[in-house]
Amino acid sequence: MDTEEECFSGDEIDQFNCPKHSLIYTNYCTTTQQLLCQECMIKCSLKVQNIISIEKALNNISQQNKQQLQKVQKIIKNFNTLDDQIQKENIQINKMSQLQIQSLSSICTQIVEIVQLKFQQLIEQVEVHKIKHQQTLQDSKCIIDEYRGRGTQLEKNIVNQQNTSGFEQLKKFREYYTINCKTIKELENEYDNLSQAPKIQYQQLQIRNANDIVKQISNLLCILERDSDYRIKRVSSKLFQQPNTTRASPFSKKGFTQHSQPHFSLQSSKHQIRKTEVKQITLDIPTDISSILDKASPEQSIINDFFSNKQSLSEHSISKMEIPIQNQTQFYIIGGLLKGQRQNLIELFDIQSKQSSQHDFLVSNRYGFQIAYHGNQILLIGGKQEGIRTALCESYDPNLKQSKISQLILTKGVSGLASKQIGNKLYISGGKTDSGIQDIFQLINLDTYQTKNLQSVPIKCYNHTLVQGNEPNTLYLFDEQGCFKYDITTNQWKKIKSPNQPRRNHVSLTLPDGIWIFGGRSGKKYIKQIEKYDETDEQFYQMGELVCPTIKFDAIVSDDYQFVYLVGGKTQENIPSSNIWKYSILTNQCLLHSQFTKPRYSHKLIPKKG
């Protein structure tokens, strides 16, 4: 009897015939994975084996090959998609890098020009002091010559008269002569030192600014590199992952009365807000250079006059963005979006003439940001820059029409945040980063650029508002999910009542009789009701209504606190607006005041300093 090895030996297979029985293979054993002829099949059938036809076996193999091919094709497609995504990200990052490099190049040029300008001004001041020293030197020489003549004459008289008291007088004259000679020598040395001071100062400025520029470029490149790595990882992970209150009258006790002047509960009223003349240094240098320059020049008065004139604001003075600068009728419209297009135009609007004019252009577009004054510089804080959330802040000089990257850098790239400036302190809250909506609350010192983390907001908030209250040391946060009062002295939050119409994408303004809330939306519903929060009884009151419900707009208050100007925004028809609405606090009437040139939303307003 034949053995199993003799029947199924693979070495004896001759093409399609069984070498043992000389019969054509007709079946396949899946257990032993051998081809079988009819005789072999009869022997195998006596055993517990799975036997199928050759056609079926071929179909199974073909099906397996197709499945493997599909898997390979899918992997290739995924790799191609990943490669395309990486290429797009690299193009976008390279584009941003080029923009930032161009901006840095422009900043370097601006810094050199400013340093040269300041150097020239210092030279002119030195020339004035040179003239004064020359005049003093000449006067001293004349006095000495006069005393010298008088001394010679007195000496002759003494010799002739042999007057003993005359010798004492001559001695005093000679002492005074010696003192004046020393004075002239000191003046000459001071003159020489003063002539060399500008050169030393200019060299120190060049070295310090060069170091700052290198640091800024290094920080920027690190941020771009981290952003590039993060984007590539994020794309890779996505590709390979496994599948009650009644309406109140504006003349009620909660607002103004018809027979009395508006009640001002602020500690500093409109007439107490004064303009401070500030000589602002356009160079944004982090350290105090005056200590270096003091050593280079004996004329400390020149250096102090040049470097030490900075704005100083009292912590007790109220510096609200919604409270306008006294006698100011113009404001800037900065940044924003226009139907998905980014808006770089800076417009200057005059309230009295109702005219808008082109003022300047931003180096790069920014929207969803916050704004603040630091001296004469306008700070653009956070938001999206060219469509990417950024932690970098921009410093813009409206007088020189120059932009530069500020040394203020946020801890994260964030948009939709809220802020409140009080003197040289800036409070920021919430916002949205690439990792989601935040509950952060921070205090930034605009003089030192130091950031301090405060007690977090009780909720995660985005597109909300943060304003200062009329009560001392209080801030208020208004969001669709809840409203809170913050005590600056205790660093604690307290929940307060929500508006009758909770909202986001709105505007909040602090007026003497309360905090007013305009526009916004709740979910997809646009809100036209205007509400006022009374800090005394902690209640919301409905005041008036907007003619056209709007979101993502901005507003500014008139000098006399009687009108609020609502500027731009997005209407419920999803159309960017160029309207400027004038809302009367006394009559609760909202009328169309004017229009500006470029309709936009997610922009910011800031008064022009006189």
Does residue 67 share a domain with residue 16?
no
Report whether 572 contacts 580 (CB < 8 A).
no
The tally of CA atoms less than 13 A away on the side-chain side of residue 101 is 8
Which whole number is the average pLDDT over 203-216?
A: 56
Q: Which residues touch 437 (CB under 8 Å, ≥6 apart)? A: 430, 431, 460, 461, 462
User: Do 228 and 107 lie in a common domain?
Assistant: yes
* Domain boundary residue, one of 217, 239, 261: 239
Q: Looking at the domain assignment, is residue 250 inside a domain?
A: no
Establish if 157 belongs to a structural domain.
yes
- Per-position DSSP letters for 392-442, written without gaps between them: EEEEEETTTTEEEEEEEE-SS--BS-EEEEETTEEEEE--EETTEE---EE
140 contacts 204 by C-beta, under 8 angstroms: no
* SS3 letters across 30-95: CCCCEEECHHHHHHHHCCCCCEEEHHHHHHHHHHHHHHHHHHHHHHHHHHHHHHHHHHHHHHHHHH
Q: Does the pLDDT value for residue 155 go beyond 80?
A: no
pLDDT of residue 308: 39
Same domain as 146, residue 115: yes
Same structural domain for residues 24 and 154? no
Calculate mean pLDDT across residues 278-297: 38
- Tell me whether residue 192 is in a domain: yes
Amino acid at 113: E
- In the listed set 222, 239, 256, which residue is the last one of a domain according to the structure? 239
Domain finish residue from 194, 217, 239:
239
Please state the pTM of the whole predicted model.
0.51
Distances in Å between the Cα of 70 and the Cα atoms of 64, 76, 251, 394 are 10, 10, 76, 52
Same domain, 530 and 565: yes
Number of folded domains in the chain? 3
Q: Which residues lie across from 496 on neighbouring strands?
A: 483
Domain boundaries, position 586: 330-605
* Residue % of the chain over a pLDDT of 90: 40
16 and 79 both lie in a single domain: no
| Phi, psi (deg, nearest 5) at residue 563 | -135, 150
Read off the pLDDT of residues 378-419 as tens digits, 9 standing for 90 and up. Answer: 999 999 988 899 999 999 999 999 999 888 999 999 999 999
What is the pLDDT at residue 199?
A: 53
Same domain, 13 and 118: no
Tens of pLDDT, residue by residue over 427-485, are 999 999 999 999 999 999 999 999 999 999 999 999 999 999 999 999 999 999 999 99
Size of the chain, expressed as the number of residues it contains: 610
Residue 254 has pLDDT above 60, yes or no: no
- Angle between helical axes of 164-239 and 54-161 (0-180°, round to 10): 180
Tell me what pLDDT residue 371 has: 96
What value does the mean pLDDT of the chain take? 77
Say if 96 falls within a structural domain.
yes
Whether 267 maps to a domain, the answer reads no
Query: Looking up tokens 């009151």, which residue turns up?
Result: 541
d(Cα 475, Cα 464) in Å, to the nearest integer? 13
What residues does 144 pair with on adjacent strands?
none
- Same-domain check for residues 99 and 36: no
Amino acid at 204: Q
- Say which residue, 364 or 591, is predicted with more confidence: 591
pLDDT for residue 307 is more than 50: no
Vertex 462: Cα angle to 535 and 99 (nearest 5): 130
Mean pLDDT for the stretch of residues 208-221: 58
472, 580: one domain: yes
Buried b (16+ CB within 10 A) or exposed e, 288-317: ebeebbeebbebeebbeebbeeebebeeee
* Average pLDDT of the residues in 110-125: 85
Least reliable range by pLDDT among 54-63, 127-136, 219-228, 230-239: 230-239
376 assigned to some structural domain: yes
What is the distance of C-alpha 79 from the center of its chain?
A: 37
pLDDT single digits (tens) 505-556: 999 999 999 999 999 999 999 999 999 999 999 999 999 999 999 999 999 9
Helix (H) or strand (E) holding 303: helix 300-307
Distances (CA, A) of 527 to 253, 312, 446, 569, 570: 25, 41, 35, 13, 12
Instruction: Dump pLDDT digits (tens) for 14-63.
Output: 467 788 777 887 788 877 777 888 778 777 766 656 778 778 888 888 88
Residue partners of 367: CB distance under 8 A and separation at least 6: 335, 336, 337, 342, 343, 383, 384, 415, 602, 603
Give how far Cα 253 sits from Cα of 516, 541, 584, Å.
15, 11, 17
CB atoms within 10 A of CB 434: 13
pLDDT tier, 288 (very low <50, low <70, confident <90, very high otherwise)? very low
Q: Which two tokens stand for residue 503?
A: 């909202």
pLDDT, residue 95, reads: 86
CATH code for the domain in which residue 455 is found = 2.120.10.80
According to DSSP, the residues that pair with 333 across neighbouring strands are 347, 605
State yes or no: pLDDT of 96 exceeds 60.
yes
On the question of pLDDT at 334 being above 70, the answer is yes
Pair (9, 141) in one structural domain: no
Pairing label, strands 539-545, 525-526 = unpaired
pLDDT exceeds 60 at position 342: yes
Please tell me whether residue 384 adopts helix, strand or coil conformation: strand
251 within domain boundaries? no
Between residues 443 and 169, which one has the greater pLDDT?
443
Decide the pairing of beta strands 392-397 and 402-409: antiparallel
Q: What is the pLDDT of residue 116?
A: 85
Beta-bridged to residue 494, according to DSSP, are 485
Tokens representing 240 are 């390979």
Instruction: State whether 379 and 528 are in the same domain.
Output: yes
Residue 497 located in a structural domain? yes
| More confident position, 351 or 283 | 351
Statement: residue 273 has pLDDT above 70? no
Which burial class, exposed, middle or buried, applies to 191 when counting CB atoms under 10 A from its CB (0-12, 13-18, 19+)? middle
pLDDT category at 368 given cuts 50, 70, 90 is very high
Greater model confidence, 340 or 266: 340
CB of 511 closer than 8 Å to CB of 530 = no
Tell the burial category of 370 from Cβ atoms under 10 Å away from its Cβ (0-12, 13-18, 19+): buried
70 and 44 co-located in one domain: no
Question: What span, in angstroms and rounded, lies between the C-alpha atoms of 255 and 249?
Answer: 8
Percent of the chain topping pLDDT 70: 68
